[in-house]
Structure 1
Amino acid sequence: MKRHSIAAGIFLALGPATAGAQDMSGPGNIRAGRELAIAQCSECHVVVPRRGTSWQTGRPPDFTQIANMPGMTRTALLAFQHSPHPKMPNLILSDRKTDDLIAYILSLKNPGVR
């Protein structure tokens, strides 16, 4: 099974069970999360939305796609961050940096995207 399929499965499995209005907001600095994503995640993921880019087969999902997965919440992202993933480096972040990264990802959520 491809890594993006595993990640999507985890997100989809956790999302509906953890969805809640208060779960969408939380601690974290969006700007700091964006900077962290560029520095730590952009080698594999598209972390800053760009016009005209689309997901390519065999590549990890971009952060906008992750943010817009059905039921995506802070809790789902926390669970994903604390779970091991094949082919993904074991990124150990402080609680503050985790909050920042999650705040940035959730800032990419577009209510009109399904």
Structure 2
Amino acid sequence: MKTTKALIAVSLMILISGVSLAQNNQKEPKVNQRTFTGITGQAIKESSEVNNVEKLIEEISNEIYKEKLAVAGAGSLSYMLNNKEFIINGVQQKSEIHLRYMNKYMKNNTKWNICKNYKMK
């Protein structure tokens, strides 16, 4: 009788562990993400820089490589610059770097998001 109870207890523990592992191995639900390159935000139409979006994005990319904030040729460069943050390849940059890029490339267009290969929800 004790052996039967022990076997049942062990079987239940194995079954519960198996169910728990199966639940943990389920993939996270996919979130609709889009990769964006360009400028979004308010006051875009009023700005002359909007006509040179490709040039602006290329200038920022070159500056990132020049300052070695990302390694050229190490994969796809991704960044997003706005008035709150500067994220390069998923890493938020220090405030002094953020302010320098914001002042140089955004000027008074503080409601912009300048992105290259940036994944957004």
Which of the five TM-score ranges fits, normalised by the shorter chain?
0.3 to 0.5
Greater share of helix? 1
> Greater CA radius of gyration, 1 or 2?
2
- TM-score, normalised to structure 1, is 0.32
The one of the two structures with greater contact order (alpha-carbon pairs below 8 A, sep at least 6) is: 1
Greater share of strand? 2
